[in-house]
A and B are shown apart, each in its own frame.
Chain A
């Protein structure tokens, strides 16, 4: 058998259900792994060693008594430090919240715990989910950024420090780090996963979603996170759209090559790749998202920023100044534009199974002072359409390159279908960083 820390979510759940593994052994194995490598990766901001071991023992006793809660029974997860966890300090990547210990779990954490998942710890993130980076490094090359803002969640999954993780995205904070770290990540439909108990970045663009090392594992987490909001797939076909502009033209040489190879592989497997014309309002929808995001961030931080400005990171301080200058009239114009652009994009997405783009314009940049480019992810954060990233290849420098799939609102099952097909065809090896 693999070492327990190498197992993905479904495999670990099956091993626990089949009594081939205990949850306690899995948690201990992951804690030892963290002791061994997290000094380099810095994915964890805080491990919940004692509570995770206690919870694992309780779930092992349940399993021994024949009471299994489901596929997540006994499976430990990394939770981004923006999500409230009862009794576990939650800092949102800022010293301003040092010592804050939520009294209650966020409802999404409660759902995961009720399904048998264990909070192994809190994963590192950029300050208030904005631009000032976490100390986390990319497990594929420690000199490169893992992306942000869900930096620790993506790095923890990639380095086999956890089989799965929860992240959040306002611009590109799930898809981009998952792509840079070579893992699968889902930014669900807006509001499909409850945001209560998640510190806001920008209310109308914040999304919560899972990361793991396979589409199957991400789908398992999503089923628990979304609960009743989960939609059936509907009619599945093989029409995959490729955009006529915006994405490919921004991509670097390695990313274009990986994207072209994926198109060829899918076509050879019988998929119907069709070029789709993005609506004329597409770019305006993106720009409206930027205006919305910065204005809402300024509103979230208005009071704290006015009295404790010096305790904010310098990039976030600049963003909050810029967002604070957006007038109410311009903010409302941005909301009108988002509604129009989102509806026009919905009309395009309704004609295909999913739209496929490069997940990011380039692989993870070198350096830890910035977290990369969210240009390819912001359109779907602004419109609220679901997006999934699936790794497909490595760059010449050995860094992961991924494709992003987007679908109509509520189209997560379509994304899982397309993503699984791509995963099967390209056979990307996650194990490279899990030795």
Chain B
């Protein structure tokens, strides 16, 4: 099914909003400067 231009624009806008919210949350979280990032995937205990 071919989407309309409006559908695509709505989807893009929703995605942009989602990414904005996600980035704001992770940027505003207090993270120690020396906290290492995951490398390759979540660790096992």
What residues of chain A have their CB less than 8 Å away from a CB belonging to chain B? Answer: 189-191, 203-205, 281, 283-284, 287-288, 290-291, 294, 314-315, 318-319, 321-322, 325-326, 330, 332-340, 342, 346, 350, 369, 382-385, 408-410
Given A318-B8, A322-B15, A322-B16, verify A291-B45 contact (CB < 8 Å).
no
Q: Are A288 and B22 in contact (CB under 8 A)?
A: yes
Closest A residue, CB atoms, query B18: A290
Separation in Å of the A310 CB from the closest CB of chain B? 13
CB distance from A147 to the nearest CB of B (A): 18
Closest B residue to A341 by beta carbon equals B29
Smallest CB gap from B22: residue in A: A287
Q: B residues bordering A, Cβ < 8 Å? A: 1, 3, 8, 11-12, 15-16, 18-19, 21-23, 25-27, 29, 31, 35-45
Q: Which of B15, B23, B42 contacts A338 (CB 8 A)?
A: B42
Count CB-based A-B contacts (< 8 Å).
102
Decide if A294 touches B19 in the complex (CB within 8 Å).
yes
Q: How far is the CA of A203 from the CA of B36 in the complex (A)?
A: 18
B17 to chain A, nearest CB (A): 10
Q: Which residues of A contact B31 (CB under 8 A)?
A: 333, 336-337, 340
Listed residue (B35, B39, B41) with the most chain A CB atoms within 10 angstroms of its CB: B41
Which residue of B is nearest A345, CB measured? Answer: B42
CB–CB B44/A330 < 8 A: no
Assess whether A191 is in contact with B26, with CB atoms less than 8 Å apart: no
Q: CB within 8 A of A384: which of B8, B23, B42? A: B42
Complex Cα distance, B21 from A27, in Å, reads 49
Distance between A281 CB and nearest chain B CB, rounded to angstroms:
7
